[in-house]
């Protein structure tokens, strides 16, 4: 079964806890703090696998969790890092955060994507030793790993998309100009899944064509198969629109052409601006009057128009040459840009709740939504750090710290971030 959309939950591993321990050795009466740090939790990593063609694996497994980091132990032994969990997806998969709808990654190249970062390990008690506190009896817990609900949507990477009503000859065309072997039969919706074919024009010169299954009127509203597969048209640089020149099924080819273009506009207005080449197929069944009418109509509309009889390969090479020439003038296959999930989204979804605990002039701030913002903050970037500070101010955390009695120079601890408070 072809599956091109799935929804899963991913959870990175939690960081291991730091250890509270003291050095114990014969003839040493008072050993110092000796606890190790916790290990980092494993990441959730997405990777492209060209051996995969669908998202069907995700129909049966919907929850993915990376291993936690191990806790620290005595002798300043740090806990082991949790192994990363690698999830393989087909090339062209777009990953979105479900609640915000923002694009997290477009898996169209060979780069891996860390979708959820593992929590950092907590510090052992040696980190908290000072001149006045030489035997700290506390350590720091590891921070939780990131957790997301994401949707995976496969948008095929093809240079050219074949459009047309069912049974107009799209499958036959792609079968004679490429090595693709779609099922071909004289009934509607023979093609139930997108078919990709590579058209070669010589060494180093080729392009990919996709046969998009049965688009009909109402496809953008879920009628027929088109609703499931319109998304695959979005990446195509060029559309080849095939019509039944003979109207052999009692439909008007011009009306078919207009109806499918209307569905494209309803689904995504950008598709209305996509370059199209129009092809009249089944010319062996058409009259001279029908052929002249179509040629006049499409040329007056400004389209490149060709005719063919696909089963006997008449006119197909001219179409392939025209497609290759047009592709040479068009930008590369569309890539979807990553979209930042705004901090306000996390605050709103969690009602901005937070908790502050004070222990020996250290102010511990805890909030699940704040952790997600912190994990997405580059602490080495000044502007990013300034933005995080504004979040603390606008959400009332700074005011709450003041109400708790914080003084300048006291330590604020937010998961794995610690800093001295400054008014």
pLDDT, residue 110, reads 92
CA 414 centroid distance within chain: 29
Beta bridge partners of 414: 417
Dihedral sign (CA 364, 370, 371, 375): negative
Segments of the chain with pLDDT less than 50: 1, 183-185, 187-191, 216-227
- Token digits for 278? 């129009």
1-153 belongs to CATH 2.70.210.12: yes
DSSP state of 11: E
Q: How far apart are the first and last CA of the chain?
A: 61
Model pLDDT for residues 101-155, shown as the tens digit of each residue: 999 999 999 999 999 999 999 999 998 888 778 888 888 888 899 999 999 998 8
pLDDT of 191 reads: 46
pTM above threshold 0.95: no
Give the pLDDT score at 190: 46
Identify which of 332, 327, 311 has the alpha carbon closest to the alpha carbon of residue 275: 327
pLDDT of residue 29: 65
**Do 160-327 and 342-423 fold alike per CATH?**
no
Closest to 38 in 3D by CA, of 175, 160, 144, 191: 144
DSSP assignment of 373-417: HHHT--TTSHHHHHHHHHHHHHTTHHHHHHHTT--TT-EEEETTE
> And the tokens for 256?
């078919």
Strand order in the sheet with 5-11: 63-65, 5-11, 147-154, 93-97, 103-107
Asked whether 410 and 361 are in contact (CB, 8 A), the reply is yes
Going from N- to C-terminal start, the domains of the chain cover 1-153, 160-327, 342-423
Residue 188's pLDDT is 45
Roughly what angle, to the nearest 10 degrees, separates helices 382-394 and 368-375? 170
If we measure between CA atoms, which residue out of 274, 269, 395 comes closest to residue 334? 274
| Helix (H/G/I), strand (E/B), else coil: 321 | helix
Q: Which residues pair with 63 in a beta bridge?
A: 9
Quick one: residue 57, left, alpha or beta (phi over 0 = left, psi -120 to 50 = alpha)?
Answer: alpha
CATH superfamily of 160-327: P-loop containing nucleotide triphosphate hydrolases (3.40.50.300)
CATH 3.30.300.350, applies to 342-423? yes
Cα–Cα distance between 66 and 89 in angstroms, integer? 17
């Amino acid at each position: 079964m072809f599956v091109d959309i799935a929804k899963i939950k991913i959870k990175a591993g939690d960081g291991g806890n730091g250890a509270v321990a003291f050095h114990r050795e014969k003839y040493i009466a008072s050993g110092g703090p000796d606890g190790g740090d916790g290990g980092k939790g494993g990441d959730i990593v997405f990777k492209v696998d060209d051996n995969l063609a669908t998202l069907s694996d995700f129909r049966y497994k919907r929850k993915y969790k990376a291993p936690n980091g191990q806790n620290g132990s005595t002798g300043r032994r740090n806990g082991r890092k949790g192994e990363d969990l690698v999830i393989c997806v087909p090339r062209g998969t777009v990953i979105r955060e479900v609640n915000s709808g923002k694009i997290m990654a477009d898996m169209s190249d060979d780069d891996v994507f860390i979708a959820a970062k593992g929590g950092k390990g907590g510090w052992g008690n040696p980190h908290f030793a000072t001149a006045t506190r030489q035997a700290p009896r506390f350590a720091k817990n590891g921070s939780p790993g990131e957790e997301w609900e994401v949707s995976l949507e496969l948008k095929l990477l093809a240079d050219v998309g074949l459009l047309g009503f069912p049974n107009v000859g799209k499958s036959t065309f792609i079968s004679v100009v490429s090595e693709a072997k779609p099922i071909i039969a004289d009934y509607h919706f023979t093609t139930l899944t997108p078919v990709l074919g590579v058209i070669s024009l010589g060494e180093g010169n080729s392009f990919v064509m996709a046969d998009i299954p049965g688009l009909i009127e109402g496809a953008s509203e879920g009628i027929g198969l088109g609703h499931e597969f319109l998304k695959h048209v979005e990446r195509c640089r060029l559309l080849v629109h095939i019509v039944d020149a003979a109207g052999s099924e009692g439909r008007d080819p011009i009306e078919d052409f207009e109806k499918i273009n209307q569905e494209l506009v309803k689904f995504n207005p950008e598709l209305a601006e996509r370059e199209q080449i129009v092809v009249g197929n089944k010319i062996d069944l058409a009259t001279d009057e029908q052929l002249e009418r179509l040629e006049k109509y499409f040329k007056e509309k400004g389209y490149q128009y060709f005719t063919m009889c696909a089963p006997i390969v008449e006119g197909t090479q001219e179409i392939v040459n025209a497609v290759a020439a047009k592709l040479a003038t068009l930008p590369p296959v569309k890539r979807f840009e990553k979209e930042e999930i705004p901090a306000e989204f996390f605050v709103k979804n969690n009602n901005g709740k937070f908790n502050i605990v004070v222990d020996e002039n250290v102010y511990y701030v805890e909030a699940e939504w704040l952790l997600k913002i912190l994990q997405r903050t580059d602490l080495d970037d000044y502007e990013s750090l300034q933005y995080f500070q504004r979040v603390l101010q606008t959400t009332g955390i700074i005011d709450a710290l003041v109400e708790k009695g914080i003084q300048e120079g006291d330590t604020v601890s937010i998961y794995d971030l610690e800093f001295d408070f400054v008014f």
